[in-house]
Structure 1
Amino acid sequence: MTLEHKGYLGSAEMDMVTGVLFGKLLFVNDLVTYEAMTVAELQHEFRAAVDDYLETCRQLGREPQQPCSGLFNVRVGPALHRAAAVRAQKDGVKLNAVVVSALEQYLSQVAIKHAHTHDHKVTVELKAPAESVGTGIYSKNNWITSEQFGAQAHVSH
Structure 2
Amino acid sequence: MILKHEGYIAEVSYEDGDALMNGVVVNARGTLHFAGRDIDDLRRAFAETIDDYREWCKDRGVEPEKPYSGTLSLRIPPELHKRVAEQAAKAGESINQFIAARLADVA
Q: Which interval holds the TM-score relative to the shorter structure? A: 0.7 to 0.9
Q: What one-letter code is carried by the residue in structure 2 that aligns with 1:80?
A: L
Are 1:103 and 2:100 counterparts?
Answer: yes
Counterpart of 1:137 in structure 2 is none
Q: Would the alpha carbon gap of residues 60 and 106 (structure 1) be closer, same or farther in structure 2, given more than 3 Å must change?
A: same
Match runs of 1:1-157 below 5 Å: 1-74=1-74, 80-85=80-85, 87=86, 97-103=94-100
Q: What one-letter code is carried by the residue in structure 2 that aligns with 1:25?
A: V
Q: Spell out structure 1 runs of 4+ moving beyond 3 A.
A: 73-82, 104-107
Q: Per the alignment, in what secondary structure is the counterpart of residue 29 of structure 2?
A: coil
Q: Would the alpha carbon gap of residues 15 and 75 (structure 1) be closer, same or farther in structure 2, given more than 3 Å must change?
A: farther
TM-score by length of 2: 0.72
Highest relative contact order (Cα 8 Å, sep 6+), 1 or 2? 2
Q: Would the alpha carbon gap of residues 80 and 39 (structure 1) be closer, same or farther in structure 2, given more than 3 Å must change?
A: same
Structure 2 distance, partners of 1:27, 1:74, is 18
Identity %: 24
Which structure has the highest helix share of the two? 2
TM-score by length of 1: 0.52
| Structure 1 residue 12, shift from structure 2 partner | 1.4
Structure 1 distance, partners of 2:74, 2:16, is 35
Q: What one-letter code is carried by the residue in structure 1 that aligns with 2:28?
A: V
Q: What one-letter code is carried by the residue in structure 2 that aligns with 1:34?
A: F
Which structure has the highest strand share of the two? 1
Q: Would the alpha carbon gap of residues 75 and 13 (structure 1) be closer, same or farther in structure 2, given more than 3 Å must change?
A: farther
| Bigger Rg, structure 1 or 2 | 1
Structure 1 residue runs of 5 or longer lacking an equivalent are 92-96, 113-157
Structure 2 distance, partners of 1:78, 1:16, is 50
